[in-house]
Structure 1
Amino acid sequence: MKKKRFLALMLVFTLLAATFTMGGCGTGNTTSQTNSESSYDGQLVFDHAMELQYAKLFSVEYYKGGYKLLTITNRDEDTAIVAKQSKILLVPEGMSTPSGLDADTLVLKTPVTNLLVSSTPVTSLMNASNCLSNISQVTYDKDSWYIDGVKKAFDDGKLTYVGDYKAPDYETIIAGAPTLAIYSTMLTSKPDVAEKLKELGINYILDQSTYEENPLGRVEWAKFYAALCNEEDAATTMYNAQAAYVDTLSKAEKTGKSVAVFYITSKGKLYVRNAGDYLTQMVNMAGGEYIFSDLNTDKTGTQEMNIESFYEKAKDADYVIYIWSLGGKPSTLSDFTGYNSVLSDMKAVKDGNVWCTTPDFFQIADTIGSMINDINLMLNADANTTELTYLKKLQ
């Protein structure tokens, strides 16, 4: 009997212990559910901000529950068609929109699909971040593209050309009902198009990547577009690979070789890259010295220059990088010097150091680190090297 009573008491203690254990687990589960993503439904509780190395014109903030707030700082010149800041709140599937948002904050569900993209560099960044499938409309036709993935998307019927950004086919755009349109700042020069988009209820933002001070800041904009598509990891991997090129080159000795970067139009006008432009910074980052280092140091883009002024400064440049896609398109060194006779007297021409950018140079923004590496390879190349990935020597 005593043995049976002992076993009965042991059973009772075991059951009580199990009850307390389950009660503890139950308390833990309740706490877990309180802190789960769904418990933040309809609330904006800040978690952290995206880490950025060089980009200064956008930010991404992450909130509990999977919400994201994306902000673009637009140029003053663009405020005729957009606010000084463009804000997008991304709401995860199954979550509701928080109240109290600013009236000008655009609210979209993630991942954002069915995008209209009117920028080849933006498309390249998205393609490199596993986001190409999120684009359905573009303003460049298939023959304009050098990106294989984009060409295939056209062939597969996944991309639709909606006409040039200056005069788009609004009926085609409406039929596709894009969730969001992403334009370059060239849209500012076409306020009638911007106004029509607003009239049709098509939300748009302006890509500001071209105005980042550091060339890698342009590449880092991939993270902004990846945030729309929930592909931040892919964008970060791509960016880190490009940044690694620059990090390696930053530890190398400068070559001391000077470089002129320019192009000549079919009408004979000559344009030189400003010293503040990202391409001239790429030259410096590659170990070279931009020959027009004092030309508009606070400006991006180009400056028109007469041939005499150009020659006076550039005649002793060790290398020429001629922008093939923007100007006349020489196939040989003879074609190049045919634009103006004074070009034949340049040191770079006499030494056989005239290089052209490849046709895709300005279309692909996700390989800027590789392009900087190519410039370094050019500066250190022997006479037998005639072609790199993004540069080709004229002979």
Structure 2
Amino acid sequence: MKKKRFLALMLVFTLLAATFTMGGCGTGNTTSQTNSESSYDGQLVFDHAMELQYAKLFSVEYYKGGYKLLTITNRDEDTAIVAKQSKILLVPEGMSTPSGLDADTLVLKTPVTNLLVSSTPVTSLMNASNCLSNISQVTYDKDSWYIDGVKKAFDDGKLTYVGDYKAPDYETIIAGAPTLAIYSTMLTGKPDVAEKLKELGINYILDQSTYEENPLGRVEWAKFYAALCNEEDAATTMYNTQAAYVDTLSKAEKTGKSVAVFYITSKGKLYVRNAGDYLTQMVNMAGGEYIFSDLNTDKTGTQEMNIESFYEKAKDADYVIYIWSLGGKPSTLSDFTGYNSVLSDMKAVKDGNVWCTTPDFFQIADTIGSMINDINLMLNADANTTELTYLKKLQ
């Protein structure tokens, strides 16, 4: 009898607990929140914009109900490839598409998955923002990658190589049916590929991070891609970590040491980074002084220069940063000076201050702050320091 009474009481408590759970505060708030969001279904009511520190070429606007509007300002306007602005409206699950949108606004459901990404820096930003699983196709094969997460994704069958961006395998792309393709601005040099993508109905955008004036602006593009994947918090955390390096260095005194940044091709052509390039800005932010500070101050990229003109300007540079992945690939200081005899007379060579970038230097954009810190460490290193995370001394 006592046992039955005990079981009856337990049943009552269980029912009361269930009633409280179903009608209590937790469920009530969830229902209220759902009703609040659904009240904005099909409407664009502005809430706030993403805060950006350095990036100028994209914006993310948040609307009530979970809608997001992503806008890219394309620096190289080429109507055959891409319009001046690219807009993507992200519609959350369970919500309908608002009416009255611009005809050229691309509408996608979030989170955006099954992406084709034809840019190693973009992939690195997404990898660092918990978005790698949203990528299914890339235009670089497994052997081209230095990012461990990407190589593992290949091994796990989660990434498919669709051929070089200049001549992709369209049948493989179609079979994968990507939701969106993300290309670097190099696509502007291959209008036939862009035209074919349009013909096949593959929506694409052009990453503009390389046009950002501040190196950290490149890193901040992680927030754009994170918005596609609903991973904004992860991207912000990563960005803040990289920005902290630069913030710390901005409070330190300049080293007063000059740096030459260049590479020499297998055919003997020498290329120097323009003064307006992000890499030369990284040198200055690290506390150094770029030796070619007056060379094309309004341009990024490189400038070909004959060896005599180069030597005349760079002979007294305190340090050399040689771009290993773009030119010849010296393993020793002897290999380096073997490119041209005049290099042996450079101050940096005589002082043993010739450093090479690591192979992954231009593949990853999510560690630019750390790279700047490495340049500062190089400028302050003693003779016994021969290797940093992204720089290695030639001996």
Q: Mark the CA change 1:328 to 1:134 in structure 2 (over 3 Å): closer, same or farther.
A: same
1:220 matched to which residue of 2?
Answer: 220
* Cα shift at 1:78: 4.0
1:75, distance to aligned residue in structure 2 (A): 1.6
Deviates more, 1:74-83 or 1:28-37: 28-37
Distance in 1, matches of 2:226 and 2:54, equals 17
Displacement of 1:80: 3.0
Cα displacement (A) at 1:27: 17
Cα deviation for residue 250 of structure 1 reads 0.4
**CA separation of 1:199 and 1:342: change in aligned 2, threshold 3 A:** same
Runs of 5+ in structure 1 lacking a partner?
none
Corresponding residue for 1:52? 52
Structure 2, unmatched stretches of 5+, are none
CA offsets 1:272-324 (integer angstroms, 9 cap, x no match): 00111000000000000000001111111111111111111100000000000
Normalising by structure 2, we get a TM-score of 0.92
Shift of 1:385: 0.2
| Alpha-carbon contact 1:274-1:299 (below 8 Å) kept | yes
Identify if the C-alpha distance between structure 1 residues 306 and 79 changes in structure 2 by more than 3 Å, giving closer, same or farther.
Answer: farther
Between the aligned partners of 2:321 and 2:8, the Cα distance in structure 1 is: 92
Q: TM-score, normalised by structure 1?
A: 0.92
- Check the 8 A contact 1:42/1:98 in 2, yes or no: yes
Shift of 1:166: 0.2
**How many aligned positions are there?**
395
Fraction of identical pairs, as percent:
99
Against the structure 1 CA distance between its residues 265 and 90, is the aligned structure 2 distance closer, same or farther, given a 3 Å change threshold? same
Deviations 1:56-100 (A, max 9, x none): 000000000000000000023444300000000000000000000
Structure 1 residue matching 2:223: 3-state secondary structure: helix
Deviation of 1:186 (Å): 0.3
Q: Secondary structure at the match of 1:35?
A: helix
Deviation at 1:33, TM superposition (A): 6.5
Asked whether the equivalents of residues 33 and 39 of structure 1 are also in contact (C-alpha less than 8 Å), the reply is no
Could you tell me whether the CA contact under 8 Å between 2:71 and 2:88 is conserved in 1?
yes
Structure whose CA Rg is larger: 1
Counterpart residue number, 2:128: 128
Contact 1:78 1:185 in 2 (8 A): no
Q: Is contact 1:274–1:300 with CA below 8 Å preserved after alignment? A: yes
Alpha carbons of structure 1 residues 353 and 174: separation in structure 2 relative to 1, 3 Å: same
* Distance apart, 1:253 and its partner CA: 0.5
Partner secondary structure for residue 24 of structure 2: helix
RMSD after superposition: 5.3
Deviates more, 1:292-301 or 1:8-17: 8-17
2:6 & 2:391 partners in 1: Cα distance?
A: 89
Q: What is the match of residue 77 of structure 2?
A: 77
Distance 1:77 1:350, change over 3 A: farther
Q: Which stretch shifts more, 15-24 or 70-79? A: 15-24
Give the structure 1 partner of residue 356 of structure 2: 356
CA–CA separation in structure 2 for the residues paired with 1:356 and 1:13: 71
CA contact (8 A) 1:81 1:188 kept: yes
Deviation, 1:131, is: 0.1
**Residues 5 and 205 (structure 1), Cα distance of their counterparts in 2 relative to 1, 3 Å cut:** closer
For the 8 Å contact 2:54–2:217, the answer to whether it is kept is: yes
Task: Tell me how far apart the structure 2 counterparts of residues 10 and 137 of structure 1 sit (CA, whole Å).
Answer: 56
Q: 1:23, CA displacement in angstroms? A: 15
Q: Is the 8 A contact 1:319 1:348 kept in 2?
A: yes
- Partner Cα separation in structure 2 for residue 166 and residue 59 of structure 1: 29
